[in-house]
Chains A and B, each alone.
Chain A
Amino acid sequence: MDYRIKAGSSVRSHHFLKVVLVLLVISSLLLLPLLAYAAGGGKPATKLYNVADTRNMEPGLSKWIADIYNDNLWTFGLLVVAIMAIMGLALGYLMDRSLVLLGINLGKLDHHE
């Protein structure tokens, strides 16, 4: 009988610890955006730039994007779609390969409701 009571209380304390752990994780997650907000957040900028400022930029990806943005917005629009599509396809392929390497079965699914 004593043994049973001990086992019951141990299960209860384990359950209590689990609840505390979940609450801690949720509260720390709640703090994460708050901390990030305190670090770098603030009032949203109200001024909208129509021209990207490239004066202090060194040659590289950012400057290349900014130059195209400043040159022609139609080309920029097409570039956005093209880069997103190419990156989506490439990253999708890479992630697929990685999951297969991890041994996850990626075959067709049965539809269970």
Chain B
Amino acid sequence: MDIFNVYLPVAGMEFNVLLLLLIGTTVGVCGGFFGIGGAWIVTPALNIFGFPMPYAIGTDLAHMGGKSIVSTIRHGKFGNVDVRLAVSMIIGTTVGMELGASLVMYLERIGLAESVIRKIYVIFLFLIGSYVLYDYLSHVRRQRKAVKEGAPKAEYKHTLAQKLQRINIPPMIHFKTSKIRCSLWLPVLVGLVTGVVASVLGVGGGFIRMPALIYLVGCPTLVAVGTDLFEVMITGAYGAFTYGVKGRVDLLAAMYMLLGAAIGAQLGTVAVKYVRGYSIRLLFAVTIFIACASVLFKQMNLQLLSSILILTAGIVISLVIITLLIRGVMKERRTAGAKSFVSTDREVRK
């Protein structure tokens, strides 16, 4: 395996290229499918294989910028990116991140930062995961009930989002791609809150923004994924620059990771075409629970176990997504084949 080792000049160490490609592909698939940056996989994965933490964070942010460009362009072509909504949220997110940073400084001054933040993180992930899972299960129950009673399938209503959309504070904006009309202040405020939370918890924010876009703003799942990736692209580029200037990005490692991530991101993004929004939500809930377990292990000083769990889970989830993609493509081909057979048959009969 030594032949695959390369010397990374900035991190000052040798690293296996295949491992970089594997990590990149895994995080690319998950990122493209869920609309998240994937720092929760990359940073611990690089760290357990010997990458010093600051370089792991910087290198992750750098490749995240490039990977999100691939996913955002593809989601954009699918009609899943609401640029207006993303820009409104970025304004709130930026302010929120600054407020969050000040809050962290305050917690550090009173000596509570480390313990409080990790506990809040676990509770937060658990609550989001539970809500998304509850929402999925109630949707399935409603669908089954509707089928049993012979009534048309009940459409899900985002009640909280609808209530929030009705708040009439000018300017009221029509977000065309998301097909929603609401006050500009709604996405700005949601961005602000998610920005504060992301900054306090020290995460990119995709984990929080994606469900917030669905349950608070009222976006369809696929638009939430695409719009969130647009934001990840901007924050990734900004993070790549700031960590680059501080000399904490190993560009060579980021380039190898991006090679894998670009392929993975494209596969993950195209996979959303073959699944329903609620299936994405179910897989997302599972992913959140795994992330939650990994933070719990970290809290119990089981760093290695936490990192291995997260990397393994990332690989398994990516394989599930790729399987869904392959099944979807095969089904599409079978349907197309059957349609062309029927039309040829009709022409022959004529």
The yes or no verdict on A and B being binding partners is: yes
Contacting B at CB under 8 A, from A84-113, are 84-85, 87-89, 91-92, 95-96, 99, 102-106, 108-109, 111-113
Q: Is the CB of A40 within 8 A of B50?
A: yes
Q: Is the CB of B266 within 8 A of A96?
A: yes
Q: Is the CB of B247 within 8 A of A111?
A: no
Contacting A at CB under 8 A, from B22-73, are 45, 47-55, 62-63, 65-70, 73
A1 at the A/B interface (Cβ < 8 Å)? no
Residue interface bits B250-279, CB-to-A below 8 A is 1, else 0: 011011001100110110001011001110
When distances are taken between beta carbons in the complex, the residues of chain B under 8 Å from A111 are 80, 220-223, 277
When distances are taken between beta carbons in the complex, the residues of chain A under 8 Å from B7 are 57, 62
Q: What is the interface size of chain B, counting residues whose CB is below 8 A from a CB of the partner?
A: 80
When distances are taken between beta carbons in the complex, the residues of chain A under 8 Å from B51 are 44-45
Q: Is the CB of B277 within 8 A of A53?
A: no
Q: Is the CB of B262 within 8 A of A95?
A: yes
When distances are taken between beta carbons in the complex, the residues of chain A under 8 Å from B312 are 29-30, 32-33
Q: Is the CB of B50 within 8 A of A92?
A: no
In whole angstroms, how far apart are the Cα atoms of A25 and B323 in the complex?
14
In whole angstroms, how far apart are the Cα atoms of A41 and B277 in the complex?
38
In whole angstroms, how far apart are the Cα atoms of A66 and B11 in the complex?
10
Q: Is the CB of B156 within 8 A of A113?
A: yes
When distances are taken between beta carbons in the complex, the residues of chain A under 8 Å from B278 are 113
Q: Is the CB of A65 within 8 A of B74?
A: no
| Partner pick for B70 among A63, A77, A92, CB 8 A cutoff | A92
Q: Is the CB of B276 within 8 A of A88?
A: no
| Partner pick for B258 among A74, A91, A96, CB 8 A cutoff | A91
A5 at the A/B interface (Cβ < 8 Å)? no
In whole angstroms, how far apart are the Cα atoms of A39 and B48 in the complex?
12
Beyond A54-B9, A62-B9, whether A109 also contacts B222 by CB under 8 A is: yes
Give the Cβ gap from B26 to chain A, nearest Cβ, in Å. 11
Q: Is the CB of A52 within 8 A of B70?
A: no
Residue interface bits A31-67, CB-to-B below 8 A is 1, else 0: 0111011011111111111101110010001110110
Q: Is the CB of B332 within 8 A of A105?
A: yes
A79 at the A/B interface (Cβ < 8 Å)? yes
| Partner pick for A30 among B12, B52, B270, B308, CB 8 A cutoff | B308
Most buried by A among B12, B252, B265, B307: B12
* Residue ID in chain A nearest B325 by CB atoms: A104
Question: Would you mind naming 17 contact pairs between A and B with Cβ atoms under 8 Å apart?
Answer: A37-B304, A39-B16, A40-B16, A42-B50, A46-B52, A48-B55, A49-B10, A53-B9, A76-B244, A77-B245, A81-B241, A84-B65, A85-B69, A91-B259, A96-B266, A111-B221, A113-B278
Given contacts A40-B5, A44-B47, A88-B262, 10 further A-B contacts (CB under 8 A): A30-B308, A30-B312, A44-B48, A44-B51, A46-B52, A61-B252, A62-B6, A81-B244, A84-B240, A85-B69
Which residues of B does A touch, CB under 8 Å?
1, 5-13, 15-16, 19, 45, 47-55, 62-63, 65-70, 73-74, 77-80, 155-156, 220-223, 237, 240-247, 249, 251-252, 254-255, 258-259, 262-263, 265-266, 270, 272-273, 276-278, 304, 307-308, 311-312, 315-316, 319, 329, 332-333
Which residues of A does B touch, CB under 8 Å?
25-26, 29-30, 32-34, 36-37, 39-50, 52-54, 57, 61-63, 65-66, 69, 73-74, 76-81, 83-85, 87-89, 91-92, 95-96, 99, 102-106, 108-109, 111-113
